[in-house]
Amino acid sequence: MSDALFSSEFEPADTRYLWRLWFADLLDLATSVLLGWGALRAMDVDRTPGTLVVAGVVTWLLMSAAGGLSGWTLWRGVMSLRLVVDGSAPGLGRGLFRAVLLPVDLVISPFLQRRYCDRLQKVQPEAVPPFTKSGSAAWAGRASGW
């Protein structure tokens, strides 16, 4: 009996880049918490547990909105990944919706080996070659008009 019956030549992008995207999303979430803490410290606001949570959530929503508009975040750029929907950036609505669903996706995806919340939104990662005009250097060079 041939193994071709149970194999597949097609692997969805969300499973192909599962761990790179999972690690990038985890680092983006941790970065937003640290930036929220830093913003409270810079404003010299009393850092109670409640204000720390609010600052982290607000920073996370802002980072997700920016990631939805461009498809890039800092850590996705480092991992040479970009989120796309039909070849373009996901948009503000999907970025904010993804911000709400991402903690759930971070918990379940290591066990299920799928990004179900991303599939629900039809968002998928796209690998971009590093240090090319269309690569991860491009996300840093967008402001220069590349």
- pLDDT exceeds 80 at position 12: no
The residue ranges of every structural domain in the chain are 13-139
- What pLDDT score does 136 carry? 45
Given a cut of 90, is residue 13 above it in pLDDT?
no
Helix, coil or strand: residue 25: helix
Which tokens belong to 66? 């920016």
- Residue 128: CB atoms within 10 Å: 21
Predicted confidence (pLDDT) per residue in 30-58, tens digit = 999 999 999 999 998 888 899 999 999 99
pTM for the predicted model, two decimal places: 0.78
77-136 pLDDT, tens digit per residue, is 888 888 999 888 999 999 999 999 999 999 998 898 888 888 888 898 888 877 655 544
Burial level of 71, CB count in 10 A (0-12/13-18/19+)? buried
